[in-house]
Structure 1
Amino acid sequence: MLKIIDRYIIKKYLGTFSFMLILLSIVVLVIDVQQKIPRIESAKALDPKLDLMYFLLHFYPFWIINLIVTFLSILVFISVIYFSSRMANNTEIVAIISSGASFHRFAKPYLYTSILIALISLVVNHMVLPWANIKKNELEAYTYNAANKEKILGTAPASAQLSKSEYIFVNSWNKRENRGSGFIYQKFDKNRRMLYELKSSEVSWDKAKKLFILNNYVEKTINKDNTEKLGNGPELRKNYGHAPEELFPNELLGQNKTTPELLKFIQREKEKGNSNLNSYLNELHQRTSMPVSIIILTFLALSLASQKKRGGLGVNLAIGISMAFIFVFSFEALKVVSENKSLSPALAMWLPNLVFLPLTLYLYLKRANQ
């Protein structure tokens, strides 16, 4: 008997969740496309192939994957609130528990299903989502407003720290074309005394050969006796170990890397002395904290919705949507706090779970003991 009920609840859980998932994807896709049509049309001025159909085929499928992953725990929460409230209003939960099953036993299929979704989400977050983000982020900047588009695709000063003693500065670097002007490379000894300096009027990236091309360069080597050796030429090709997107990363870079790649990148940046890594650490910790939140929010939703209330489904949905908003807003707010270095990334990305977990345990035990 209980196995039949388990299958019934799992079917309800997955069915409602799938329906919510498809509904959200369609509604949000239509709204987003309508909002971004003017920006997509303006992208055609930069590249004629970037029309609406191109975005629908090469951007939005991957954008949808990102959207689903972002709101997965909230979709689970609202889905459980919805179908559990309906079961409570139809007195199905009362009948199941009256038949001799404890509330803990009744909650087992919720646990199994939430763990299944959390595990799938964990694999997707760490391995699949970065692949989708690479595809999405190739076109993401074209959907931004002018100011934000300029940050990703425009021309701006750039700098990189290759190691604790090596630095690169570019006065004007265009991220879309991977070229710039006013290039400077400097190397120092452990006492911060300059050993070598290389300047060029223009710099560009050769993607095929993975080299930087420096035009009209001047180099200076400083000897131990402080004498200088000068050199110059029309062109010099240099390998600085990384592509421009690695040397001059933007805010989207962390999204594009699988977790092993992201860990290597963070470690490499730490060894170079880069302390501005919180946005990448936020990305790393969120990939695990969000799947865990699926289990927590499943039991929070069950605790809130498994008892028949005056006002029925509408009251439960209102409570659920309000708490979902608080949960999502807290993640986004804590990201900003962490990036400003007011809070460690690990604590920032796990804090919503740490707050919601004791609340969930309290409400669940209270409901189980009724």
Structure 2
Amino acid sequence: MIDISENVDKMIEQQAPMTEILWYYFYFTLHYANLLFPFFLFLSIIWFTSKLANNTEIIAILSSGVSFMRFLRPYFIGATLVAIVVFFMGMFIVPQASKGYNEFREVYIHKNRNKVSTQALYNQINDNEIIYVRSFNPSNQTGYDFTLEHFDGNKMEYKISAQYIQFKDSVYSLNNYVKRTIGEREDIIEKERKKDTMFEFEMEDMVPVSYVADTKNLIELNRFIESEKRKGSGNISTYQFNLYKRWSAPLTAFILTLIAVAVSSMKRRGGMGINLLFGVAVAFVFIFFDKVFGVLAEQSGFPPLLAVAIPILVFGILAVVLVRNARR
């Protein structure tokens, strides 16, 4: 409802078809369900276990000789089922939903947004050619200060440069075109005010859309990362962070399960409200850690594996400590 209230005017303005809107909210549901699945699990465990504790049922269970670890077994079974669902959704189902979700927003909601990339962009498009643009505007498919260098082994054969390159009507239009062919004794220079030509690369090779990793399943994402490594892409950390986050999601379900049981298994004077308050606080701190290290991995060269592992390790240690205290 919040998303509808924020975007309904843009959908009407862009004349989005009703069928696409319905598909968008189907993808929307899968996209956010995957993000929030561990926290739904977390809060539901706190709610359920707090009810048991307030009714003194946990004391009765443990007093009958059942160990605390045996008491945890049903929770682990439930967490395992949720982890399996989260794993397969995150690896194979949600990427397709994310593609539909993001494409709809780009076409109908963010259509008039200024999307100029101001950073220098390099890309090795194949074994022999490297392209460069100072900045790129996806809305009009234009790259500024364009350069293409063609090599034969380690030897440059020719270099093409232009003030800007634009993809229009299936051809590339270059303004202030200059081609310098390297000769044995002297170079051959060709100049044209405007030149229309064809290239083997796509405009997306200059700068992939920001959500490209979200739209690929596990197999496609692994291949995409290897391809981007060969090209020398500057976004490798972002793609690797996305991959590691998917692998860590099932582990997150187990850690949050342990924390939720440990926090809510004791009967408190404040009742369920205190447990839920603590649970929401822990969830927000976890999200904060996750976002901070995610930005570090994507923007500062921080190792993506560490960016994913540190929040898991910190909250894993917290879970062990809380469970030990709960057993006592």
Which bracket does the TM-score occupy, shorter chain normalised?
0.7 to 0.9
Residue in structure 1 matched with residue 130 of structure 2 by the alignment:
167
TM-superposed CA distance for 1:105, in Å, is 0.9
**Are 1:99 and 2:70 counterparts?**
no
Residue in structure 2 matched with residue 109 of structure 1 by the alignment:
74
Residue in structure 1 matched with residue 109 of structure 2 by the alignment:
143
- 1:192-225 Cα distance to aligned partner (Å, 9 max, x none): x74212356754267xxxx754568664321233
Residues 121 and 135 in structure 2, CA contact (< 8 A), matched pair in contact too: no
Cα distance in 2 between the residues matched to 1:224 and 1:63 = 59
Cα distance in 1 between the residues matched to 2:241 and 2:171 = 31
TM-superposed CA distance for 1:275, in Å, is 3.9
Cα distance in 1 between the residues matched to 2:120 and 2:94 = 28
TM-superposed CA distance for 1:156, in Å, is 7.0
TM-superposed CA distance for 1:171, in Å, is 6.8
- 1:318-342 Cα distance to aligned partner (Å, 9 max, x none): 0000101111121111111112225
1:102 to 1:171, Cα distance in 2 relative to 1, 3 A:
closer
1:155 to 1:345, Cα distance in 2 relative to 1, 3 A:
closer
- After superposition, residues 226-241 of structure 1 pair within 5 angstroms as 226-228=186-188, 230=190, 235-240=196-201
Residues 136 and 207 in structure 2, CA contact (< 8 A), matched pair in contact too: no
- 221-230 or 181-190, larger mean C-alpha shift: 181-190
Cα distance in 1 between the residues matched to 2:120 and 2:181 = 24
- 211-220 or 107-116, larger mean C-alpha shift: 211-220
**Percent identical:** 31
1:164 to 1:293, Cα distance in 2 relative to 1, 3 A:
same
Residue in structure 2 matched with residue 285 of structure 1 by the alignment:
244
**Are 1:40 and 2:6 counterparts?**
no
Cα distance in 2 between the residues matched to 1:215 and 1:363 = 64
- After superposition, residues 280-359 of structure 1 pair within 5 angstroms as 280-359=239-318
Cα distance in 2 between the residues matched to 1:155 and 1:321 = 37
Amino acid at match of 1:196: Y
Amino acid at match of 2:296: V
Cα distance in 2 between the residues matched to 1:121 and 1:286 = 12
- Aligned residue-pair number: 323
Provide structure 1 residue ranges, at least 5 long, that are not aligned to the other structure: 1-29
Residues 89 and 308 in structure 1, CA contact (< 8 A), matched pair in contact too: yes
- After superposition, residues 56-75 of structure 1 pair within 5 angstroms as 56-75=21-40
Residues 237 and 301 in structure 2, CA contact (< 8 A), matched pair in contact too: no
Amino acid at match of 2:123: Q
TM-superposed CA distance for 1:298, in Å, is 0.4
Residues 133 and 206 in structure 2, CA contact (< 8 A), matched pair in contact too: no
Cα distance in 2 between the residues matched to 1:212 and 1:276 = 27
1:246 to 1:218, Cα distance in 2 relative to 1, 3 A:
closer
SS of residue in 1 equivalent to 2:209: coil
1:329 to 1:38, Cα distance in 2 relative to 1, 3 A:
farther
Residue in structure 1 matched with residue 86 of structure 2 by the alignment:
121
Partner of residue 249 from structure 1, selected from 204, 208, 233? 208
TM-superposed CA distance for 1:41, in Å, is 3.7
TM-superposed CA distance for 1:365, in Å, is 2.2
**Are 1:186 and 2:145 counterparts?**
no
Provide structure 2 residue ranges, at least 5 long, that are not aligned to the other structure: none
Q: CA RMSD in A?
A: 3.0
Cα distance in 2 between the residues matched to 1:351 and 1:205 = 46
